[in-house]
């Protein structure tokens, strides 16, 4: 049964017998980000309700974040919200309800192994760049598409009926069968082998005691969904921001050269840690476009990846009374924070509508800088990585990977938008989500190889 939520509604109400539900959903589909913005501006210190495409959501006022972020999973559940949101039963995302293994291997093994992983990631990146940019030369710029994506084609009510008829590649069973074909032999080999590998599959095999391959495969797929699209979108946005603000390029490139010089020209974790300006630039870029996993797990099912104007997705599993003494969040309520509007609120950031790539950079080398000001840090107003107990456990890996990628591109290539373009392409807004343009091209020109 739908919980009764007592808060101001923004946008069309579903009305008696849900007569206006389709209209409310349509409104959110086309104008969701504006509704969230409107609710936040009008009622910043109060909660408000919006009808999204899938469910009614209570958007919580920022003043309550500190008391909600540390509540246990038994009261406010991120996993339950994701599973319900993403039809976990069909998509197998419900694997995340079994344990926190998927999260723990990121927080512990993946992060601890970063010093060993970076050189391998750098080799992989060199190989990928040589393949992808094969036509690129030092004489002239060559255009490459920055990003591509597929849109989800079927309405929710029809999905169970259509599932058996969808093209095999888009069927979960087909995807799982392919994954099994590739991964079962790899998992079995690793279970008996004495060799250890430094990768997520190995971390999952080592920490999963039961030994059955299927739960490991599902968790690896969930992690792939959580990791790839968030990081890709953050990198695409950063590249757009760099091309739109070429005045940052030399300073970011000089920083990368200086860091590489101290490490003999090869990328190590220590090299990446020196990229303080890039750290700030990536954080500012993320502030301007707030991603979150609410939709990302859908990619696991159907192929969509977006950024959202709301974040901190939780399902209330046991009713919560807020500190104002009157507001009760009933069991079953889906709650969110207004991530996008919060990130541009002058309460949290000076001149929030100005892009300041070095907003979080402290020239004294960062000694005086609070850790919250790092790319992976969580300062008030920032829910881009989530908040509290379930803050993204892959953020140190994501940070290292994106810095490696952006810095390597700047070292190896001159980059710019196509001739005549000086601003970012408009993002795409749909169903409260924000996606960087999937069609924008960027021009690349090889830079002379530098000796370190």
Whichever of 300 and 417 has its CB closer to ligand HEM, that residue is: 300
Smallest separation, CB 445 to ligand HEM (Å): 27
Per CB under 6 A, which of residues 366..395 are in contact with ligand HEM?
384-387, 390-395
> If binding is defined by CB under 6 A, does position 281 make contact with ligand HEM?
no
Binding ligand HEM (rule: CB under 6 A), the pick from 92, 113, 122, 231 is: 231
> If binding is defined by CB under 6 A, does position 51 make contact with ligand HEM?
no
Per CB under 6 A, which of residues 295..334 are in contact with ligand HEM?
311-313
Please count the residues of this chain forming the interface with ligand HEM, following the rule CB under 6 A: 31
The verdict on whether residue 392 carries a ligand-binding annotation is yes
Binding ligand HEM (rule: CB under 6 A), the pick from 62, 291, 352, 381 is: 291
How many other CB atoms sit within 10 Å of the CB of residue 253? Answer: 17
Q: Mask 61-80, x = binds ligand HEM (CB under 6 A)?
A: -----------------xx-
Smallest separation, CB 79 to ligand HEM (Å): 5
Q: Mask 164-193, x = binds ligand HEM (CB under 6 A)?
A: ------------------------------
Cα separation of 387 and 69, whole Å? 6
Per CB under 6 A, which of residues 86..115 are in contact with ligand HEM?
100, 102-103, 106, 110
Smallest separation, CB 71 to ligand HEM (Å): 12
Per CB under 6 A, which of residues 397..436 are in contact with ligand HEM?
397-398
Whichever of 136 and 401 has its CB closer to ligand HEM, that residue is: 401
Whichever of 235 and 243 has its CB closer to ligand HEM, that residue is: 235
> If binding is defined by CB under 6 A, does position 223 make contact with ligand HEM?
yes
Smallest separation, CB 288 to ligand HEM (Å): 13
Instruction: Using the CB atoms, write b or e for 150-188: b if 16+ within 10 Å.
Output: eebeeeeeebeeeeeeeeeebbbeebbeebeeebeebbe
Binding-site residue set for heme: 392
- Contact positions toward ligand HEM, by CB under 6 A? 78-79, 100, 102-103, 106, 110, 223, 226-227, 230-231, 234, 291-293, 311-313, 384-387, 390-395, 397-398
Binding-site residue set: 392
């Amino acid at each position: 049964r739908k919980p009764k939520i007592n808060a101001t509604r923004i946008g069309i109400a579903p009305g008696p017998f849900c007569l206006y539900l389709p209209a409310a959903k349509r409104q959110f589909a086309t104008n969701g980000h504006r509704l969230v913005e409107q609710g936040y501006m009008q009622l910043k210190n109060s909660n408000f309700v919006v009808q999204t495409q899938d469910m009614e959501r209570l958007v919580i006022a920022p003043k309550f974040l500190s008391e909600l972020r540390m509540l246990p999973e038994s009261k406010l559940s991120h996993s339950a919200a994701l599973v319900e949101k993403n039809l976990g039963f069909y998509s197998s995302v419900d694997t995340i309800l079994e344990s926190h293994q998927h999260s723990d291997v990121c927080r512990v093994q993946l992060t601890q192994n970063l010093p060993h992983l970076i050189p391998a990631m750098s080799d992989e990146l060199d190989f990928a760049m040589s393949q992808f940019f094969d036509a690129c030369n030092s004489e002239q710029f060559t255009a490459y598409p920055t990003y591509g994506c597929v849109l989800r084609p079927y309405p929710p009510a029809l999905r169970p009926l259509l599932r058996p008829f969808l093209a095999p590649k888009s069927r979960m069973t087909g995807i799982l069968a392919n994954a099994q074909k590739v991964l079962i032999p790899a998992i079995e080999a690793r279970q008996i082998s004495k060799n250890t590998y430094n990768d997520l599959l190995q971390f999952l095999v080592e920490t999963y005691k039961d030994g059955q391959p299927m739960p490991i495969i599902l968790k690896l797929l969930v992690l792939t969904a959580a990791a790839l699209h968030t990081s890709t979108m953050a990198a695409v946005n950063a590249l757009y921001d760099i091309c739109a603000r070429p005045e940052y390029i030399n300073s970011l490139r000089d920083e990368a050269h200086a860091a590489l010089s101290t490490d003999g020209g090869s990328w190590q974790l220590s090299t990446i840690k020196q990229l303080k300006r890039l750290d700030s630039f990536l954080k500012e870029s993320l502030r301007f476009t707030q991603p979150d996993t609410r939709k990302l797990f859908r990619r696991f099912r159907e192929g969509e990846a977006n950024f959202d104007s709301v974040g901190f997705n939780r399902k209330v599993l046991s009713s919560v009374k807020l500190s104002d003494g009157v507001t009760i969040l009933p069991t079953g309520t889906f709650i969110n924070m207004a991530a996008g509007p919060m990130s541009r609120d002058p309460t949290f950031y000076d001149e929030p509508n100005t892009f300041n790539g070095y907003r979080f950079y402290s020239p004294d080398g960062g000694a005086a800088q609070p850790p919250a000001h790092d790319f992976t840090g969580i300062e008030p107003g920032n829910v881009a990585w989530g908040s509290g107990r379930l803050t993204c456990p892959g953020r140190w890996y994501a940070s290292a990977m994106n810095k490696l990628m952006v810095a390597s591109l700047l070292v190896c290539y001159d980059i710019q938008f196509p001739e005549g373009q000086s601003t970012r392409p408009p993002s795409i807004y749909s169903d409260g989500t924000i996606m960087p343009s999937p069609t924008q091209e960027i021009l690349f020109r090889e830079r002379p190889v530098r000796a370190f």
